[in-house]
Amino acid sequence: MKCPKCNNEVVEGANFCRYCGANLKDGTVEKTISDDEKYIKEYVGEKYDKFKNGTFNVGAFFLGPIYLLYRKMYLYTFIYILIAMFFSWIPIVPNLILGFFVNGMYLNKASEDVKNIKLNNSGLNNHEIIELCRKKGGTSIVPPLIYVLIVIVIISLLTALMFLLFYGIKDYDYQQNNYNNTEEKTYPKDDNELEFDYTGFERTSSNGYVSNNGNRYCTIYVYNYTKYDTSTEKEYFTRRANGNDLLTDDINGHTWYYYIEKKNYSSNKYIYTRYVYMALNGEKSYTINYNVSKDDDGFCSDNIKRFSKSLKFVDKSGIEA
């Protein structure tokens, strides 16, 4: 036979264990162990037998940290998250580990918690100890719900951030221009010297216009600069073309320089066509960026001809310059 206290083999019919001295006749040891197991059973709840006899916990495997929080295993939840971060390239590994070992970990936790409850509440009767075990153990739906809510909030914030990074600022076009740093940029609230036809576009800022209906997305941005250097007009705009082929056109009695280029945005994940028109009017240099990123209905590419032919300079009284 085995000693119920130390589990060592003892002689059949012996009154005391020769290893630990436990009384084998009056049943005191059996009673103590039976009470501890009863407390643990009350701590665990109705699934006690599955925890004690099961080899793999399916719920823990599929739910991971949600299951741990449901069983109030907060420290183990933190450890699980750290392990999951380490095995992020093989996400199934932490769940497999959890499925095989969670039963033993939970029973060990239950045993330690029951021991502390008994130690800290020695003056309570058996019924009161059981109530404390039930309160300390068991399950709670609140921690998993809070966890899920936090995850949803984090995912939503990350999604919004990614949207802003890849779509929200893609038309912040003037940052893509490598203009001469000696030139003073100005963005007038309303430019009375330049007019053009922007039918089909909505004015979104003092210098920006957008056409977007789901099937197309094109923009117009207007900038003017004060020309300080003494280079010729052609030399000036050739330098500003950044190596692109520079063409000229007489539009409404004024010489305009223009070029066409493909622009890449966010490491080549986003490509669009840019039409750049440039002209001098007095001491001011005008640059217009006509950008086409989506043109399923053909409006943007068809409109560029009408738009370019409408460019004209006027004085404040409305007379063409």
* pLDDT tens profile 112-123: 999 999 999 988
**Contact in structure between 157 and 150 (CB atoms under 8 Å):** no
- The answer to whether residue 58 sits within a structural domain is yes
pTM (2 decimals)? Answer: 0.46
Domain count, the chain: 2
**Final residue in a domain of this structure, among 138, 159, 178:** 138
Residue 187 pLDDT greater than 50, yes or no: no
Nearest to 46 by CA among 159, 139, 152: 139
3-state secondary structure of 17: coil
Residue 253 sits in a domain whose CATH number is 2.60.120.1690
Instruction: Tell me if 13 is assigned to some domain.
Output: no
Token representation of residue 262: 């493909």
Judged by DSSP in three states, 227 sits in coil
pLDDT in tens, 194-222: 888 888 899 888 888 999 988 888 999 98
* Residue 145 falls inside a structural domain: no
d(CA 129, CA 144): 27
Tell me the two tokens of residue 21.
């001295």
DSSP, collapsed to helix, strand or coil, labels residue 285 as strand
pLDDT at position 214: 82
Average pLDDT in the chain: 82
Q: For residue 272, what are the β-bridge partners?
A: 263
Range of the domain at 222: 186-313
Residue 31 reports pLDDT greater than 60: no
CA distance 20 to 38: 24
Residues in CB range of 265: below 8 A, 6 or more apart: 170, 176, 271, 272
pLDDT in tens, 243-266: 889 999 999 888 999 999 887 765
Cα–Cα distance, 98 to 93 (Å, whole number): 9
Same domain, 208 and 302: yes
Give me Rg for the CA atoms of the chain: 39
* 169 token code pair: 């600022």
More confident residue, 166 or 85: 85
Q: What is the pLDDT of residue 117?
A: 94
Q: How high is the pLDDT of residue 7? A: 67
